[in-house]
């Protein structure tokens, strides 16, 4: 079987990929993740997913390389990882009663042929109306400061939501498995 590589240092993406029971290596790509001027969220995550996979191609020319990147958008603006309590509090306050759209770019690169498939998978989160006390309690409990949108849907963050919309709940955490399985099958790798 061809070597499979996840171009990521994200523990969340590794946790999701582990569900498929495939052998793989996780290697962190070194790329510039700066958004280009006037770049749409969809183009941005597609470009970064491709760049992450391509960054590892030279060192792993016989591998299938998975690249993925995610961004969150509220009211047309990209919101990133908060990095700390203050930014996280503001993000969740802004999200209260709103819909946040997550766009996850996914690339599967065949290092041998140089061919790749890229897709962007949307997922939408409708937030409950959140009080400052609810936000404070959540942030102090879960401390989701390295998560886009300031929550962990796989944990207590689920209590912040009114409704989720999307084809694959793994997309919200950062790796759309349903789409990845189809990409892998296109390369001759069957999960089941």
Supply the pLDDT for residue 148: 83
Catalytic residue among 59, 69, 167, 168: 69
Digit-coded pLDDT (tens) for 57-103: 999 999 999 999 999 999 888 888 899 999 999 999 999 999 999 99
- Would you say residue 145 has pLDDT above 80? yes
Q: Which domains does the chain have, with CATH numbers?
A: 4-186 (3.90.950.10)
What percentage of residues in the chain have a pLDDT greater than 90?
85
69 assigned to active site? yes
pTM: 0.91
Q: CA–CA separation, 109 vs 67, rounded Å?
A: 8
Please check the confidence at residue 153 and state whether its pLDDT lies above 80: yes
Pairing of strands 116-127, 161-165: antiparallel
């Amino acid at each position: 079987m061809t070597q499979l590589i996840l171009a990521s240092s994200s523990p969340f993406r590794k946790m999701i990929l582990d569900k498929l029971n495939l052998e793989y290596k996780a290697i962190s790509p070194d790329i510039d993740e700066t958004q280009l001027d006037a770049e749409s969220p969809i183009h941005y995550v597609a470009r970064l997913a491709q760049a992450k996979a391509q960054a590892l191609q030279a060192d792993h020319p016989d591998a299938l390389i998975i690249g993925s990147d995610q961004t969150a958008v509220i009211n047309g603006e990209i919101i990133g990882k908060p990095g700390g309590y203050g930014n996280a509090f503001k993000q969740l306050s802004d999200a209260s009663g709103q819909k946040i759209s997550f766009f996850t770019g996914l690339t599967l690169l065949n290092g041998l042929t140089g061919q790749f498939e890229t897709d962007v998978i949307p997922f939408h989160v409708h937030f409950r109306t959140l009080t400052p006390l609810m936000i404070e309690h959540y942030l102090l409990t879960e401390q989701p400061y390295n998560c886009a949108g300031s929550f962990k849907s796989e944990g207590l963050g689920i209590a912040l939501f009114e409704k989720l919309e999307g084809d694959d709940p793994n997309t919200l955490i950062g790796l759309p498995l349903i789409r990845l399985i189809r990409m892998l099958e296109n390369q001759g790798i069957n999960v089941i």
